[in-house]
Every structure is written in structure tokens, then in C-alpha cells.
Amino acid sequence: MGIDSNDEELMLEYQRGNEEALEMLFLRYKKKIFNFAYRILANRADAEDVTSDIFLTLFSQKDRYQPEAKFSTWLYTMARNASLTKIRNKKNLFSLSFLGLGQEGKEESWDPPDSKPGPVQTLSRNEMGTHVRRAIHRLPRAQKEALILRAYEEMSYEEIRKILNCSLENVKVLIFRARKRLRKELAWVIQEECA
Amino acid sequence: MNTHEVMKQKISVYFDGETTPAEKKEVEEHLKACISCQNQLEAFKKISFSLESWHDADPSPDLDQKLAKIKNPEESKMKTKKTKWNHRAAAAVLAGLAAVVVFRHLGDRALEEPKPPAPITREVSVTEKAIAPAAAPSEVKPDRLFFAAEALKKSEPSAYQNFSVRREALLEFSFQAKEEEVFNTENYASIQESGFQEVLKHPLSTFSIDVDTASYSNVRRFLNQDQMPPKDAVRIEEMINYFTYDYPAPQGEEPFSITAEMSACPWNKEHELLLVGLRGKEFSKESLPESNLVFLIDVSGSMDEPGKLPLLQKAFQTMIQQLDQKQRVAIVTYAGASGLVLDSTPGTEKETLRGAIQDLTPGGATAGAEGIRLAYEIAQKHFISGGSNRVILATDGDFNVGVSSEGELVRLVEEKRASGVFLTVLGFGTGNYQDSKMEKLADKGNGNYFYIDSLSEARKVLVEELGSTLFTIAKDVKIQVEFNPGKVKAYRLVGYENRMLAAEDFNDDKKDAGEMGAGHTVTALYELVSADSKETFGKIDDLTYQESKIKASGDVATVKLRYKEPEGAESRLLAKTLTQEQAAQNPSGNLLWASAAAEFGMLLRGSEFKGSASYREVLNRSQTAKGQDPSGHRAEFIELVQKAQKLDISPSEGIQFKGSAE
């Protein structure tokens, strides 16, 4: 086992009792799963809850993993389901939504500041980020999930199909519709003259 | 789905590299011939690129702690409760202090000199008692942080370590804040809130409408920088009027519809709230009048900051995209010397306009007056009778060469007002921002005033609401409300302090008042005390020789409105009466939202009339009244309230130490 081992090997290794393998999986997926949930839920605390829940499942029920499945697909499926549960449970509660929209660096003081790009660039890029977030946040849930998996997690349609538990045709439609809608909503951001 | 849609979907699949070889060939063949689909593919690429601007976030240290617990459940189980508590307590102290530093830096609120620190409690652990003084801003000194830290060190060394690192960061921050204090020369005119007026003695309330929204975007700027705005930067009527309300469209000839609605006052159970709403008629895109615009752009040295000239350029670029052959644009700059950059050019020549804006470079001192003179000159040269003639001034307001006194500038603008050219003032930038000067300029120049803090605000003012920004449908709009003393004992107009008029000004056509843009909505709220209330307001004794007779009537109030046509000299009158029966049991979304915006403003101002107002209430109500919110402005409002809730450390509000330490 080592740094080159793929996820599946590591998971099998961990099922055999090697704790170090788990450590490595934590490292590989902590930020990814957190960001996936954050984008779906639009709430940092919830995303962190989901992330720790997922890793707790991984830790406490390691035998649930079936070696024939791709590890990342399995993990994202759990993360997606946990996020859905979170949304359902919170439905009647007032969601805190995006407190830190566009102001991430300030709100989260533990983030070390990145190297500073030129002033004009910062402004437009930051602002663009804010609008992208808002636009994605407003997508219907299924479209949002499919698009996030494609755009940010760089999953294949096949993987997305498994995670969302739907048909391939469905994945195509969801991603297409999400893009169509974003094209409309972000037209002025991407400086498209006629959308 | 028609065949074209099928193809477009295939292009999406093609873009992801997920097509079968046959499909790939089909798409590529089609793309060669179809421009619309080429554009589609191009747009997908751009979207995909823009999505990258949403970067991955870093999870907080909390998550690492949680994960560590998963890996070592035994070890953490024993500590969990205590560590968590202290960690949060420390965070609470820090948050409190950070807010205090900001508070002190702003200076506006901390009018009293800080008192010497109270004797330090000798408790070893950080308890609520030790933290509590942080809530009273005037008593806190940075040293206090030190004592809190010492206490924490003894009770929980690991939390202390975390804490001390942040403390250093914080002290550095407080130092910076101090330094800034010296240089911050932002300028706000002070606002004296108007109190309750007794109806028997003052049955008429008269004011000019205010369609400006600058105060709201300025407040947003402060909150987004994690600072509470200075009290006087908060003009409540502008907080309310930042949003568009769903009033009925005007019918027939009249350019306005008037809405009156009454319901219980959310922040004072004993009182009621009256809403007066106007909505101006709208133009369809085809019927927009011709317009002659002169951009007057400040390119002085002080504009050389990312939030100023570069944002301004972007803002105007966005606006230019909306123009067509009916609009003409000229560009005048002013700095050391004023100059005409581009003479009046039709809106269709986008490349020329875009190039001219792109080439603006900052430098030199500001000679605002000379620039304003030149801009008005150009506007008059190309004057379109019956159209919209307007100078759009974009500046940080720091005029310091030439006519520099505020009075002289205002007089200059007032003088130009007679020419029929309107003025729009767009404020940019921070640090040296001259709010009071710009509001006055716009007010005197028959104009409107916006504060542009971001590209999205530029979009709101110059794209979404371009019609109401550019096209005035009525000028000198005044409102007078007459209350029926049989139903109302006293009233208080919420906000509009700078817009109050004397009762006799209402019928005086020489008195200048606010302008109304196409499709604009204007809202005013009155807090009412009902006639059967036991409350007393009498500062003046009852009259000895007169007795007022109250006519029996079921009316609560009559709203009267005077306005002039954009080029008219004589005013016209509209009126609407609200009866007791019309008072609503269930307030409309309009009233809910306006009252939430007002309540938020009162909290930010620390208003003496805020009663039971609370951020939680504002959140509840705005959440209910948010509605469709296609532009996202209302969602943003909710975010701002949440921010302010965290930042506000005034005694009755803000961080609840008890809650956060659980």
C-alpha cells in the first residue's frame, strides 16, 4: 500500500484492518466531499456535518463497501443521500443559506490569504464567483446535483447515473437543462450579448 | 422537444465528451452549418469557465476536530464537552472584541469616552460572567482580551493555544483599525429622527418622495466588510425603497397609482402601521422616449482604486449593451482639466462607446464644477424636447479644485436644473466617500442618487431598472397625509427626515421635491397610535380658547399627492382615502417586506422608536414576504440581516453569549 494505491485498494486494505489506509482516504476525500456537500447545501455547517457523518459511516461500517463498486461513486452516493436527508430535515426550519456569499476570505479567518492577483481581476473574479453560486443555488435540486458532479467533481455520465440512481438519458437531460438555465441567468456575467 | 432542442442537448453531451462516435460525427456536421448551435457550444464553454470562479472552500478546523474524534473516539469522548464549550467561549470573546474594535473605529456610536476597565473578576475559568462585559462596548479595552486569555490558559490549555494565535491576529487588526481611523474621512450628514406628532395639533404630514437607494448599498458595503455602518449612513426610507413593491399599475391618464394599507405595527404591539405606496407608469421597451445622456466621469487620482474607476468602466460597459438608436451618449471627464472625450454618439455605435470608456485613465486633481458645467453644456447642445435629457455623474465625490465649497456646487446644479436637464449621481468607492455632498447634489439637481458598490448593484441601477433610472415620469412629487383625529391620536413618519416639508409647501409649486422614474415604486410608512390609546404625547398644553371639533368619519387618513409633468410647471393633485374597514387583518407581502426593511434600518440606527424590534423578527418576516425574488435582491437582504445580527453588539441585540456557549 502506498501513495500510488488507488482508492479501491486502500479501502480493501482498510477492511483488512490497516488504519493507515483509512487515514489516506480521509486525506484524499475530506475536502472533496465537504465541497460537494457545501455546493449542494449552501451551508457550511451542514456540509461539515455531512462530511463527518460520511467518514463516520466509513469508519464504523467499513464492511458495507462492496469491492466491485468504484470507491468514489460509493462515497459520493452516500454524501448525496446524507445531503438530501439534511435538506429534508431542515425543510421546515429556516435555512441559514449563504451567509458568506462572496466574502469567504473574510468570514473564514482560518483560510490563509491566497497570493493576490491584480485589483481588477480580484473584483471581477470574486464577483463572478458570487453570481455563479447564486445561480447554481437557484437550480432545481436534481439539475444542481448533476451539474455539480459534472462540473466540479468531473464525473463521467455513467458515474453520475449511479450516484443519482437514474437513467443515462436522465443525466443528459439534467445537465443540459442546468446549462441552459445558467446560460440565461449568467448571460450578463459571461458577457454574452444575446442568450 | 423539437429537433433543434434534441441537437442542443447532444451538443451538451458532446461538450462533455460523452457522445458515441456516430453522434459525435452528427454533431460536428451540424455545427459546421448552424450558427445558433455554434453559439450554444461557445456559451457552454463560457459557462464552464465561469463555474471555475466558484473555488473550493477550505473546511474549518471544526471539521478536522470532528474527524479526529472519529479516528480516536476514546480519547476525545472524555474531553469533548469541555473543549467544545471553551473553544466556543473563546470564539465568542473574540467575536465580541472584533466587533468592539470595529465599533470603536467607527467612532460614531461610541460617543462616550471609554470608561476605565471594571475590576477584573477573579474567576479562573471563562464563565459567562467574565465574558459578559464584552457586550457593553464602552467599557471594553483590548486588555480585557488578555485577561480572558489568561483565564482560559489556566482552565483549558489546548483551547488557549488556539486562542492566543488568533489574539495576535486580532491585536494586529485593532492596530490597523486605529490607523485607519485617522484617515477615514467619509462624510455623512447627521439625521435627527422625527418623533410622534399629535394629530389634534398637527393633522398634516408633508414630505417629498425619495427614490434614492444609495444608503442601502452603502450599508451593504459596510456589512460585507464585517462592520456595522455608521448610524447616519442609514436612511430608513432608502432601505425601504431599495426594493420594488407589487402595487397595482396605474390606470388611465394618471402616471401613478396610490396604495394605502394598514395593519398592526410589528415592533410595537400598541401601534399600527400605515403604508403609503406609489407606483409610476411603465414604458414598454418600444415606447421609451428618446434620450440624450452625458456621462460625466471623474478620472481624478482618487478614482484610481479597484472599487472606483475599473468598476465604473465595467458598469458603463454593461449599460451600453442595453442602449439602441434612441439613446445618445456623450462622455465628459474631469480631473486636472475637464474635457470632452466623446461627443454625443448614438447608442448603436457600441464599439465607439466601449472604446472610449475603456481608454479612461485616472490622474490629476478633481475640478468637479468645471466638469459639471461642461457636461450640462453638452446636454443642452443636444437637447431632445420631450425626451430624457440627463447628466450621469460618476464620482467618489471628492471635489477639491475649483468650486469646492458644497454650497457653490449645489447652487451651480440648482441653476442648471432650470434648463430641463436631469442629474443622476452614481457614487463609487470607500474611505473618502462624500455621501452627504452627493445626496445633496442629486436632490438639488432634479436627480437621483445611487451608490455603486459592486457589479451587481451597477446591474440593478443601469440594466434592470434602467427605465426608472433614466426616464422621469413626474417631478416635484410631494405627499401630504391628513389624519383623522377621531381615529388616530398620533403618528410618526418612518424615515424621510431629510425630505420633510412644511404643510404649506405642499401647494407651493415653487418648492422643489423628488422625481419619480418610470415603473418606480415609492413607499412610506407611518407608525400610528390609535385614538383610543392611553399614551400621551403632549409637550404642548391643550389650547385654552379654541376647541377642535372632529367631524364624524370612518376614515383613518387621506393621502394627497402633487406632481408635475417632467417639463410642466403646474402641479396636479391626486388623492386616496383609507377607511377603518380597509385596515387589513393580514398584512400584504408589500407591508411585511417594507416593515422588515424599516425595522432593519431602525436596528442599524439604534432608533429610539425601535420598541421590540429584533433581527430575528426581521428575518422571520422577510423570509415570509420574500416571494419570487427573481433578481435575488431580497435573498441578499436576508443575508445582510444575518450579518448584522452577528456584528451588532448593542446591548439588547447581537451575539447571545448564552446561546453560543452551549
In the numeric block, which cell numbers belong to residue A102?
462572496
Neighbours of B573 (CB within 10 A): 11
Please state whether B397 falls in left (phi above 0), alpha (psi between -120 and 50) or beta.
left
Query: What pLDDT is stored for residue B145 in this prediction?
Result: 41
Out of A107, A172, A179, closest to residue B47 by CB: A179
- Which residue is associated with the grid cell 402633487? B562
Strands B197-198 and B447-452, sheet pairing: unpaired
Between A143-157, B38-52, B354-368, B498-512, the lowest mean confidence (pLDDT) is in B354-368
B386, burial (CB in 10 Å: exposed 0-12, middle 13-18, buried 19+): exposed
Short-list B92, B215, B104, B114, CA closest to B163: B92
Q: What is the pLDDT of residue B78?
A: 41
CA pair distance A120, A98, nearest whole angstrom: 25
Question: Is pLDDT at B512 greater than 90 in this prediction?
Answer: no
Q: Which residues make beta-bridge pairs with B426? A: B394, B450
Q: Is the minimum CB–CB distance between B221 and chain A shorter than 8 Å? A: no
Q: What's the pTM?
A: 0.51
Interface contact B54, partner A, CB < 8 A: yes
Residues B529, B535 contacting (CB under 8 angstroms): yes
Radius of gyration of chain A (CA): 18
Kindly tell me the burial class for residue A33, based on how many C-beta atoms sit within 10 Å of its own C-beta (0-12, 13-18, 19 or more): buried
Give the span between the Cα atoms of A110 and B166, in whole angstroms.
Answer: 9
Dig out the grid coordinates for A161 from the structure. Answer: 447515473
Nearest residue of A to residue B320 by CA position? A193
Q: Which cell goes with B636?
A: 441578499
How far is B590 from A181, CA to CA, in rounded Å?
A: 29
Facing residue for B306 by CB, picked from A55, A122, A138: A122
Closest CA to B430 of B187, B186, B239: B186
B336 close to B364: Cβ distance less than 8 angstroms: yes
Please measure the distance between the N-terminal and C-terminal CA atoms of chain B and give it in whole angstroms. 55
Q: SS3 of B385, please?
A: coil
Q: How far apart are CA B311 and CA A126, in angstroms?
A: 13
Mean pLDDT throughout B546-573? 83
Question: pLDDT for A72-117, tens place per residue?
Answer: 999 999 999 999 888 877 654 433 333 333 333 333 322 333 333 3
C-alpha cell at B111: 460617543
The residues that bridge with B486 in the sheet, in sequence order, are none
Cβ–Cβ gap A34/B44 under 8 Å: no
Residues whose CB falls within 8 Å of the CB of residue B247, separated by 6 or more in sequence, listed in order: B257, B259, B277, B278, B279, B521, B590
In angstroms, rounded to a whole number, what is the distance separating the alpha carbons of residues B419 and B417? 5
B170 touches B94 (CB < 8 A) = yes
User: Smallest Cα–Cα separation from B264: which of B621, B585, B15?
Assistant: B585
Min Cα–Cα distance to chain B from A191, Å? 8
From A175-189, B274-288, B354-368, B431-445, the region with the lowest mean pLDDT: B431-445
Query: Are B454 and A52 inside 8 Å of each other by CB?
Result: no
Tell me the pLDDT tens digit for each residue of B263-299: 899 999 899 999 999 998 887 766 777 889 999 888 8
Backbone angles phi, psi at B79, to 5 degrees: -90, -25
Write out residues 455-484 of B within 8 Å (CB-CB) of A.
455-456, 459, 463
Q: Which residue of A has its CA nearest to B1?
A: A173
Q: Rounded distance, CA B159 to CA A153, Å?
A: 35
Between the alpha carbon of residue B167 and those of residues B137, B148, B170, B348, B657, the distances in Å are 18, 11, 5, 57, 19
Mean pLDDT of B29-37: 89
Given the C-alpha cell 488578555, which residue does it identify? B146
CA angle B572, B388, B256 (to 5 degrees): 35
Report yes or no: B247 and B608 within 8 Å, Cβ to Cβ.
Answer: no
Q: b/e string for B173-199 if b means 16 or more Cβ within 10 A?
A: bbeebeeeeeebebbbeebeebebbbb
Mutation target among B23, B37, B50 for the A interface, most CBs of A within 10 A: B50
Find the helix or strand (DSSP H, E) in which B274 lies: strand B272-280
Least-confidence region, from B114-123, B227-236, B404-413: B114-123
Q: What percent of chain B is modeled with pLDDT above 70?
A: 74
Between chains, do B635 and A97 touch, taking CB under 8 Å as contact? Answer: yes
Q: Which residues of A touch B46 (CB under 8 A)?
A: 190, 192
Q: Give the Å distances, CA to CA, from B69 to B2, B25, B477.
A: 55, 54, 65
Q: Which of residues 530-589 of B touch A (CB under 8 A)?
A: none
Amino acid at B43: A
Average pLDDT of the segment spanning B98-123: 40
B40 CA to centre of own chain: 36
Measured between alpha carbons, how far is B366 from B300 in angstroms, rounded to an integer?
5
Contact residues on chain B for A52, CB-CB shorter than 8 A:
63, 66-67, 70
B207 - beta bridge partners?
A: B479, B500
pLDDT band at B456 (very low <50, low <70, confident <90, very high): confident
Q: Does B635 touch chain A (CB under 8 A)?
A: yes
Q: What is the pLDDT of residue A129?
A: 79
A157-185: burial string, b at 16+ Cβ within 10 Å, e else: bebbbbbbeeeeebbbbbbbbbbbbbbeb
First to last CA, chain A: 51
Q: Return d(Cα B230, Cα B605) in angstroms, integer.
A: 8
Do the strands B422-428 and B388-395 form a parallel or antiparallel pair, or are they unpaired?
parallel
pLDDT at B493 over 50: yes
Residue A140 has pLDDT above 80, yes or no: yes
Closest-CA distance of chain A to residue B558, Å: 39
What are B620-653's pLDDT values in tens digits? 999 988 888 888 889 999 999 998 988 887 655 4
Residue type, B145: L
Average pLDDT over residues B178-185: 37
The DSSP result for B92-127, as a single string, is HHHHHHHHHHHHHHH-SS--SPPPPPPPPP--SS--
CA–CA min distance A162, chain B (Å): 16
- pLDDT greater than 80 at residue B112: no
C-alpha cell at B148: 480572558
Average pLDDT along chain B? 76
